[in-house]
Structures are given as structure tokens and as C-alpha cells.
Structure 1
Amino acid sequence: MAKTFTDEDDALLAELGIEVEAKRHVSRTPREERIIAGFEEIQKFVTKHGRVPQHGEDRDIFERLYAVRLDRIRDQAECRELVVLLDSQGLLSGAYQETTGPDLDSLDDDALLAELGVEITAPAITELTHVRSTAEKKAADEVAARERCDDFATFKPLFEQVQKELNSGMRETRPFEMKAEIEKGRFFIVSGQKAYVAEKGETNINDQGRTDARLRVIFDNGTESNMLMRSLQRALNKDEAGRRITDPSAGPLFSDQTMEGDEASGTIYVLRSKSDHPVVAANRELIHKISVTNLSVEKRIAGAHLQPTFLMANVEVVATYDLYNINRTKLENLIHRIFEPARLDIEIMDRFGRPVTPREWFLVPMYAIKDAVEKIKDGSISGFVYDPKQAQLTKR
């Protein structure tokens, strides 16, 4: 049994100069913990950037997320009450004052140049205080200055495509973990900007006995840097919001590719309808329903003839693909977006005589569906679109 302190014990401890702190046990729900954690992330952003997060297409994805989160906390009384005691910055009331820069008129020449981001490269030879050590020179060599990217038009479509894939869920952002993640063709988020590793030079061993390589890194603001791999690694580790952007792969799809510890997360199923609707009857071999379920397919299609989503008719299972370690909703949305140009526009009556337009049926041959699944599997689907005229996936 745990021992509790009496009043006499407290008094004795006080005489000895030991402060007795009463511990309060506050029980919070997981939702409340998430709200508090989310508010603390907003506070970190404000502390780092000197301003509240703002909306806008020109803002990075994390700032826009924080801006939406702050709006919701402000609008909901229960959220405000939960974090009001933490709000030392006046974020809830809008009283926060953005950090202002220094008075430029009061700065000397060196300070003014530093404020403008201009490095003073040629100090007077007598100014020994400006002489850099060997370590400083090496550090300066590692962190190459950014320059204008003359061929940015080549890379701009890549950044636009990555943003689309982030919005669709094909890619995700995850905390940066190790240097081995820095490879040619990879995307990162550092200092609020997307960075693309366009080139990677020969790997060598530096003075500390660690591997390194020179990179050509392109940033989404049209600049580039010829930096060392370890410099990018340090920048990502130093940045609390530093992230790597995952490759556009949906993850392992098939049961014969699973490993011990993988968790089943659903099934892609492809159906044909046995409906006598004229459109369906005339194109039965081409009209398919493509969906994802966490149930067994047999349970999902039970009573199909009573459900508008199955065209109020029984169905035939054409193909199934087991999913492991994957977000079902995102994958289904991805598949539907791929075949959007061939979505079947058909209206049927439900059992109450009301018109319904099912959204999961597509006028697509089975070989095109199989091709799409294979490209999702190997991560190449982002480079393809479905062309109804050719009835196949074509390169963007």
C-alpha cells in the first residue's frame, strides 16, 4: 500500500526546507489530449515564425493546417475552455502581436547587410575579428548559398504533381529520420519549402569518417543549392517541421507479398452486374463496379438486389485483391480518380421508387483495371491517366 503524508509529515518537510507539491491527477479523453497537442503545435509555430499561421495557396501545407486548426479551436467553446490556460500568447482572443523586425535606420552597414541576407565576404585585412577558423570555413562550404534555378521550368511540373498527390493521399509527409533517405529523386520539406534532390554526386568519406555526397537540390520557390548531403540532413533535423515526402506507393496490395506482422486492412473487389437495365445489358462485359471493403466480399454483396449501389440487381465477383497496411479510403478514392473519365452515368430507381445515381460503376475493360492495380503496386500510377478513347492507361 502506498504511504500518504500526514499534516505532521508536511510540517516536518517544510521545516527541512523541502516544498511539498500537491499532485493533481487530471483525466482527459483522447480527443482532449489531441486538441491540447494541436494547440501546442500552433504555439510552436508562432514562437518560431513570429506570427500566427495563415491561410492561402502560397502558404505551405503545415501552416494552412495550423490556421484551420486555430480557427476551429477559436470557434468551439469546449476547445477554447480546454486550452485557455495555456494561451500565453493571446491566440484565442486575437491579441497576439506579430514580431516586428529591427529598426533598419538604426543598423550599421554590416548589420544591415546581414538583415538583408547578404554575406560580407571581403572584410578589411586588419579586422582580425572577422577571420574565420578552419571549422567555420568548412561549415560555409557545406551550406552552399541558394541561387536562381535557370531551368526551373523543368522541375516546376514535378512540384505541382507532388502537391496533387499529397492532396489526394497518394503521398504523405513523415518525420525525417536518417541520412539514407536522401537519394536522387526524393522530395523533402525544409524551412517550409519543398526540396527535390535532382542530382547526387559520388559518395565519399569526410574528415570525420562519415559518408557524404554533393547534391543539387531544387526548391519550389525557383532556387537551387549545391549542398552536401549532411548539410541537408542537419537542416531537416534542426527544423521541427522538417519532413520527407513519401513515394507515391499505396503499399503492399497482395496476400502473397505480406510479411509477418502485416495487418490485413481490406479488399479491392471488382463486380459485374446482372441487371437487365438496357445500358448494362448492352455493355455487361465492360461495366464494372470497383470498390474497397473491410468486410468479406460475400458479406458486402449480400442482398445486392435490394441496394442501389449494386444497381438493384445481383452481381458477379470478377476479381479481388487483398490489402495490407494501407488506408482503404484513400486507395478507393485514388482508383476512382484514375477512372473518373469513364465513370458510368446511369440513373436507377431504388425500392421506394426514388431516382438514384450510383457512383462506383465504370465503363472500363478488366485488363485496364488490372493494369491500374499493378501500377499502384509498383508506385508508377502517378505518371498515368485513363484514356476512354483508347480504353487504356496512358502516360501523362
Structure 2
Amino acid sequence: MISDDLQSIFDSDDSGLLDAPEKTVKLTSSDRLERSFLEIVSFYREHGRIPRSDTREIAERKLGARLDGILANDEKIAALAHLDEFGLLVVPEPPRSIDELLENDDLDLLDDTSGLLDTSDLPSRAPRSEPDAIAQRVKSADFAAFEPLFKQKHAELAAGVSKLIDFPGEKYVKEGAFFVLAGVMAFVAEVREPAEEGGAKERLRCIFENGTESSMYRRSLATRLYEARRKNEGSYAVINAELDGILDDDQHTGYIYVLKSLSDDPQISSIEDLYKIGFTTGSVEKRIEHAADQPTYLMAPVEVVVWFPPNRGGFPRRLPVR
């Protein structure tokens, strides 16, 4: 019980010096969110527009950035809906078509007074012919000439002489190359010159092991190989097993040949496995043209056993006896 003297002191405190301070109410995250949005509402009430986040006015820019953050969060929009007296949190529906966009251009921002968008006088464009529509696979009339190449390549793969690598790129699509496209082996039998097609694109003659062929563009084949690799459908290049990859920078400089003498001299003909290995930068045919008159060929005609680099399909060529 407070004594009369102490009570008289409290009663005489006209300035409120002895009043106990009120306890501060702790703000919640919801309270802070609402207060921050009400500042945006006050700005709109005062200026008649929403605050911009790209202005140089720091105070307005802060409010604009705050509003952008709220509009990007559905939970915040739902929590502040009861305070949105000006519809600041209503996100407009995007136009469903170009025509609808132009119809809603109330400020004529898209009005073309210069006629730049008028295409009525432009010539009509011819429909583009897609290579895939032109280069359909057809039955190969001379597939019998290529079938041994596929059998040989499969035998090399089984023996480990050749191997499969991931398709390395369009620049490796060359004449004589083997690929596997979606599980089917393909052989580039010919790369035609661009001039024959009347343009810069090179068209291939591509033989498939199922007896069909296609005259697709080089880029079309590369695109299909890339697509098959992306879908894990089987897309590979077939190369020599001793190589780490296709050697694109190698340059063809000549031919290595193996010859067997057809001399009737007993001292020569009695020697088994007697061969001559040589190299020429020209053609092998030209090099051995006069073999019977040259000491290097033992003054006798020769038989060409084999010569490299190989012809299409990976097989060395054989030449008639000279």
C-alpha cells in the first residue's frame, strides 16, 4: 500500500516524469511487409502512378524495386491483397496474339504512320525446299558393288582393327568415310563439287548397308548424326583402331606401292617372297609404266600387289601387270 506522502508525489507529477514507458510491440515479418507496401500505396495516392525502379530518384527507385519484388512472389501478393486499394498487385494477362496486342495499344505506340510495316507490295517468297524432303532414301541400283565394303568393315570392327568413336563433327564427313547413323552403317561414296549443284552446298552420295542410298547434303548428314547422338540412338564414326581420332590435318602427298617381279631369270624367280616396296608422288601406273626397261625393277615386268592410300571403302588397289 502506497503511503500518502508517496502518493502525493505521483499526483503532483504534472509532466509525467514518473510514468512507466509503454512496452514496444515487436514487429513481425508480416507487419514489415504490410508497412513497406503501404509506402508504395501512399506514393501512388500522391503521384497517381506506380513508382519506377529505373529512375534516378533514389527514394522512388527503392519503392519501384520493392514493388517488382512483391509482384514476383505469389505469396506476398496474396498476403497484401486486402491492402491493394488501387489494384497495384493485379498482373495483366499477356496478349494472346499480335492482333490483340495492336488492339490494346491505347497510346498508339505501335501505330505505323511511316508505312514501314506494310508488306503488301513485297514479292511473295517461294516456299523453301528442305534437303530432307528432297534427299529421300531410295534403293541403290548398284548396291552389290558396295556390299563387300560393309562386310569388310563389320569384320574389322569384330576383329578390333577398326573401332567406333562419337561423331566428331561436320568437317569429318568426307569421301570414303564410314559412319553409323541410328544403328545403320553408312558409307560416303562421293562428295560432289558445289558447282554441280549450282551453289555452295556439297551434296553427297551416301550408301547405307540396308541397300538404300541418299543424295543428302553434307550438313544434313552431320545434323542427323548429331541428333542421333543427342538421343542416344547410335551415332558414330568408324576409324582405324590404332588412331585416337580422325586426323583431319593429314595431307595426301603420294602413294606407297608393293611390287612382285615377273622376271623369268631363275636367280630371281626362284626367290620366294621377293617384293619391292616404293613410294611415288605421282600415279603408280605412271611410275611402273616402263618397268621392263629399268634396273630398279630388275629389267622385268612387275605385278602390283597393293598400293596405298586405299581407294574408297578402305581397300588397297591392284593394278594390271606391267
**Category of TM-score, reference length = shorter chain:** 0.3 to 0.5
Q: Which structure has greater helix proportion?
A: 1
Instruction: State which structure, 1 or 2, has the greater radius of gyration over its C-alpha atoms.
Output: 2
TM-score when normalising by structure 2: 0.34
